A and B are shown apart, each in its own frame.
Chain A
């Protein structure tokens, strides 16, 4: 099976009891917040990975995202943006702070597992290459294009949420997505990555 023939639907299903868990966590319920952590830790980790390049201290940054969410939970209004979008906002601010301080971090390979479709050793090695290459290639895009592609493909947000986060129209988001993909594809082809 090649990449060309894979049907890719990677949307994470919404957490049905999210609002209830948020309410319980606001009341100081550790277990309720731990369930929110379990539901969103992978998406937050991917975002951190793709935004912090090879120096990202995954463990520290991911735990900081959730700790800040815990401490500031009263600021989150259930019924507005999805909880993951709020987590992303926290993560983005932490990444900005991270780049300001330039912390030394763990290598990526210690933190990430491979996608379930790439469990064979050869494909596993190839996927490591793909992840690193993709993260490096994203740097050739504009900030807005990077943000749209990471939020859409890595965090898994719908265009509607991305538009709200970036304070832009959904049509603008689609345009940034297509131009970003074109630029990224050109770069990866030049690097013989695809």
Chain B
């Protein structure tokens, strides 16, 4: 920056701040006065031009027009949470769509599939809100039968499918009373017949009197087979009969070696109500 430029900048700054006027600047810098004068005068003219203002009438006309236009184009009140609420509502809508789509998709899931748990959860909701839980359970039982048929040839999925069916059947039987007994039993019987016709033999869902069990029920072959099907642990029993069943669940000492089950497993068998009543074993899995 040359000396003249420094002087010019200083003078412009002083004029801008009102610290001095043109004559005072020129007086301070006589060696540059000839060059400074037209520039500082131009600056002053510009400053004065910057003080020009529109007339009151002009401002009033524009103001009136502006207010009319603002009323014609009202702004929506700005709310701080408006954008967040929009986002939240959008997100909720997306989640609802995903939940609905997932639930619909899950209805076709089979035991062992990722969405099966979702299917069971949705059925629990269905039961919870249903005005007729028995009717809902009967419908759910029909689903379990259909699943059981579909996976009957799958050695891995068969057991959980059977478990799922028996769970519903147990629930239905626990709800039996004088009014609905025929309604429930007829459906369960029909389902058992349907499965039997397809070669699927279920454990007897009827209560068994443990006293009538013969040794063949606990034969080594039966036990061996039973250990591969958890249903043996879920068969129903009347709790009032526990005292009677307890003695019958003792595994004969001679059966232990032939069953070829680790010794530590045997103590788990004495869950009398759950093991003893089973009288039929599912057929060997192909």
> Which residues of A are in contact with B by a Cβ distance under 8 Å?
3-10, 23, 25-28, 30, 33-34, 37-38, 41-42, 45-46, 49-50, 58-59, 62-63, 66-67, 70-71, 73-74, 110-118, 127, 130-131, 134, 149, 153-156, 174, 177-178, 181-182, 184-186, 188-189, 194
Contacts and interface: CB of A to CB of B under 8 A. Distances in A.
Given A59-B58, A111-B54, A112-B54, A131 B75 contact: no
A153 B46 CA distance: 6
Interface in B32-66: 38-39, 41-56, 58-59, 61-63, 65-66
Contacts of A50: 49
B262 interface: no
Contacts of B21: 4-8
B55 A28 contact: no
Given A115-B53, A134-B49, A182 B69 contact: no
Contacts of A74: 78
B22 to A, nearest CB: 4
A138 B21 CA distance: 23
A9 B74 contact: no
Contacts of B58: 45, 58-59, 110-112
Contacts of B39: 178, 181-182, 185
A44 to B, nearest CB: 9
A155 B50 CA distance: 7
Contacts of A111: 54-55, 58
B70 A70 contact: yes
Which 3 A-B residue pairs are closest in the complex by CB-CB distance?
A9-B18, A185-B38, A153-B46
Given A27-B77, A28-B75, A28-B77, A131 B54 contact: no
Interface in B131-189: none
B51 A10 contact: yes
B234 to A, nearest CB: 64
Given A58-B54, A189-B38, A194-B38, A67 B66 contact: yes
Interface stretch (B8-16, B114-122, B198-206, B263-271): B8-16
Nearest to A189: B38
Nearest to B47: A8
Contacts of A62: 54, 62
B49 A154 contact: yes
Contact of B38 (A9, A156, A178, A188): A188
B238 interface: no
Contact of B42 (A7, A10, A34, A185): A185
B197 interface: no
B66 to A, nearest CB: 5
Nearest to A128: B52
B63 A34 contact: yes
25 contacts: A3-B41, A9-B17, A10-B47, A23-B78, A28-B76, A34-B66, A41-B54, A42-B54, A45-B58, A59-B58, A59-B65, A62-B54, A63-B62, A67-B69, A70-B69, A71-B73, A113-B56, A131-B49, A153-B46, A153-B49, A178-B9, A178-B12, A181-B42, A185-B38, A194-B45
B86 interface: no
A38 B48 CA distance: 21
A50 B5 CA distance: 27
Nearest to B56: A113
Nearest to B72: A67
A8 B17 CA distance: 8
A169 B49 CA distance: 26
A5 B73 CA distance: 49
B52 A49 contact: yes
B15 to A, nearest CB: 6
Contacts of B51: 10, 115-117
A60 B50 CA distance: 21
Contacts of B18: 7-9
A70 B75 contact: yes
Nearest to B55: A113
B23 A5 contact: yes
